[in-house]
Chain A
Amino acid sequence: MNITIKSYQASIPAQVPAQEIPRSDNTTKSIAENTNSSTAATVSISSSAQARYIQSSATERQAAMSQGELKQLHSSTWSDIYNFSQLLGSKNYNKDDLLPQTDDPARLELGKKSLEYAISLHQSPPGNASNPFAGMARNDLSAVVYDDSGTYTMAERYAASAELRMQDEAYFSSLSAKLTNGGDNRDFFKSILDYFDDLPPVEKAAYPDGYRDSIDSLYQEQLDQWGPLALIKQATEEDTEKLSESIFKEGQSSQEMLQAVLEKAIGLSKAQ
Chain B
Amino acid sequence: MKLAKLFGAAALFASMVATAHAANTTVTVKVKNSTTTEAAYTYEYFSGSVSPTPGSILPSNTTTFYLTSVADTVSGMRFVYASGNKKCRFAASHQVNPSTKVPSWTKTGTSIGTTRATCNANITAAQAGLPYNYTVEFEIK
Contact = CB atoms under 8 A, between A and B. Distances in A.
B49 A218 contact: yes
B135 to A, nearest CB: 8
A126 B60 contact: yes
Interface string B115-132: 000000000000100110
A240 interface: no
B12, B26, B63, B68 — most chain A CB neighbours (10 Å)? B12
The 5 closest A-B pairs by CB, nearest first: A89-B37, A85-B38, A183-B23, A265-B9, A183-B131
Interface of B: 1-2, 5-6, 8-13, 15-17, 19-20, 23-24, 26, 28, 36-38, 40, 49, 51-53, 55-66, 68, 84, 127, 130-131, 133, 135
A10 interface: no
A78 B40 contact: yes
A261 B10 contact: yes
Contacts of B56: 78, 81-82, 165
Contacts of B59: 85, 89, 121-122, 126
Interface in A247-262: 247, 254, 257-258, 261
A269 B10 CA distance: 13
Interface stretch (A22-30, A57-65, A108-116, A172-180): A172-180
Contacts of A122: 36-37, 59
A268 B84 contact: no
A123, A165, A272 — most chain B CB neighbours (10 Å)? A165
A247 B56 CA distance: 38
B63 A182 contact: no
A226 B58 contact: no
Contacts of B68: 218
Interface string A216-254: 001001000111000110010000000100010000001
Could you tell me the dominant secondary structure of chain A's interface residues? helix
A226 B16 CA distance: 6
A176 B38 contact: no
Contact of A179 (B9, B19, B26, B52): B26
Nearest to B46: A208
A183 B61 CA distance: 29
B40 A184 contact: no
B49 to A, nearest CB: 5
A89 B58 CA distance: 12
Contact of B49 (A162, A184, A211): A211
Nearest to B3: A269
A206 interface: yes
B133 A179 contact: yes
Given A176-B64, A235-B5, A235-B8, 12 more contacts: A78-B56, A88-B37, A122-B36, A162-B58, A169-B64, A172-B64, A172-B66, A183-B130, A192-B52, A214-B49, A215-B51, A225-B23
B12 A89 contact: no
Contacts of A227: 11-12, 15
Contacts of B12: 227, 231-232, 261
Contacts of B24: 183, 185, 218, 221
B19 A226 contact: yes
A228 to B, nearest CB: 11
